Amino acid sequence: MQFGRLVITSTLGALLLALAAIIALASSHREAPFITKQPKVDATDFYMFNSYEADRNGYVTVIANYQPLQDSYGGPNYFFLDPDALYEIHIDNNGDAVEDITFQFQFQNTLQDLTLDIGGQQVAVPVLNLGPIGPGATDMAALNIIESYTVNIVRGDRRSGTSQAITNLDTGASSFLKPVDNIGNKSIAEYDDYADNHIYNISIPGCEAGKMFVGQRDDPFVVNLGEVFDLINLNPIGDVDAESDIIADANVTSFILEIPAACLTAEANTVIGGWTTASLRQARVLNPAPSTDPAEHGASVEGGAWTQVSRLANPLVNEVVIGLQDKDRFNASEPVDDAQFATYVTHPTLPEIIEILFGAAGVQAPTAFPRNDLVQVFLSGVPDLNATPPALAEIMRLDTSTPPVPAVMQNNLGVIAMDPAGYPNGRRPGDDVVDISLRVVMGYLLSEAEAPSGMLPYTDGALVNASMFDETFPYIRTPHPGSPTP
């Protein structure tokens, strides 16, 4: 193999072509008009990788992040999940772009209705806590709202398949406590210990045991978000670490599962596809007289069929690939129907936008149309890496048989840097999907005639690598405290 204007083996060429399929400049924060009204069900990032924690070979870690751009000081109600929503992680293990296994999460917020004696009357307090919380998961006497959740595994269709409860391996309980967000150091003195007490060993029907954590984390995505969407107000061929991570102080809510690979695969097929969705009830009626009485209704009444409003697999597909008119439709769609969005792949607009902005500096968009190189791997996976024929769909694909690479040996450019355990063979937290994808979508794999500036080292200037994350489950680090502020 020779890098330059490329000479490569057919197999590695396919691996590199895969990178062109997934066009990313940031994670999916506020990517569609409707979802901006529903931040609690806005999926921001999806990760799926072979666990690289020592002694965890044979496990797959899946991370679905929700609620973008959380300011750590965002009290007094912080970032509870929506008890009227259904959050799901889907796995396709036979290549038909239809879920075979779904993990369904539903939440409950229990008001403890803390009061104080004021002049002989018990009066409800307006704040979330009246004293320190933790470190134990059940140390919640001072907490005004307790958030809990249940998880079911559904085999077959997510609405009509066989559903079974996932339980706590140690206690047998089917309800799990979620840690409260990181209010601040006075309320929760050692948040990392407190959060660790909400890591559960779980019993998954029909599988070996796994692990689970659901709670607030430091947003793992790294991007110079403001400049990117301000007409790319940066040097796109500058140093890879020249810019700051504009969301470095933002938190996110993570659903993190570690599951035996054998639980997710089917027969001899080691490749799985994954994506996350969130759904709301089809109808909502606002209550003009909300009540806190559990027997009555709160601020709204929800009813009707579950209706999908958020969808995410590979980063930023809806944000900078799908046209504005189709963004809500993409969020409501299923992968098996993705042929309807094919034009956005065969004739991507992002390279042309970059040429418009930087053409005076010699940047030129590729001229090869249709972009059949993108279509092949964008919709079907990569031969000899993670292909899932016959269906064509935008899902994240992972070969569970690929040996994981320890954190200290990972290359943040993944497959393009000869690290086959990285993006786009799944996605690890330290994979720099922005720089990888920018370079390839601008024609890194095409001939010089088709992509005159395809060899430029495109970057957003915000660096990410495995050293910025933990080497053990749940990998994503402790969220920023609301006080003292950084």
Domain-embedded: residue 4: no
Residue 115 maps to a domain = yes
Q: What is the number of domains present in the chain?
A: 1
pLDDT in tens, 74-94: 999 999 999 999 999 999 999
- Asked if the model's pLDDT at residue 119 lies above 90, the reply is yes
Domain assignment present for residue 25? The answer is: no
pLDDT digit string (tens) for 140-179?
999 999 999 999 999 999 999 999 999 999 999 999 999 9
| pLDDT for residue 398 is more than 70 | yes
Winning range, highest mean pLDDT, from 32-36, 136-140, 407-411: 407-411
Return the pLDDT at 4: 32
Instruction: With respect to residue 85, please indicate whether it lies within any of the assigned structural domains.
Output: yes
Q: Is residue 212 part of a domain?
A: yes
Query: Does some domain include residue 239?
Result: yes
Residue span of the structural domain in which 422 resides: 35-468
State residue 40 phi and psi, 5-degree precision.
-65, -20
417, 421, 425, 428: CA torsion to nearest 10: -100
User: 20 pLDDT band (50/70/90 cuts)?
Assistant: very low
Percent of the chain beyond pLDDT 70? 91
What pLDDT does 486 receive? 56
How far is Cα 247 from Cα 477, in angstroms, rounded to an integer?
Answer: 14
Contact between 425 and 370 under an 8 Å Cβ cutoff? The reply is no
Instruction: Tell me the range of 56-70, 212-226, 241-255, 436-450 where mean pLDDT is highest.
Output: 56-70
Q: Residues for the chain: how many in total?
A: 486
* pLDDT at position 318: 78
Is residue 483 in some structural domain? no
391 lies in some domain: yes
pLDDT digits (tens, 9 = 90+) for 321-379: 888 899 899 899 999 999 899 898 889 898 899 899 998 888 999 999 988 767 665 66
Residues 6 or more apart whose CB falls under 8 angstroms from that of 67 comprise 39, 40, 42, 44, 79, 81, 252, 253
Cβ within 8 Å of residue 81, ≥6 positions away: 40, 66, 67, 87, 107, 147, 149, 178, 253
Indicate if the pLDDT at residue 13 is higher than 80: no
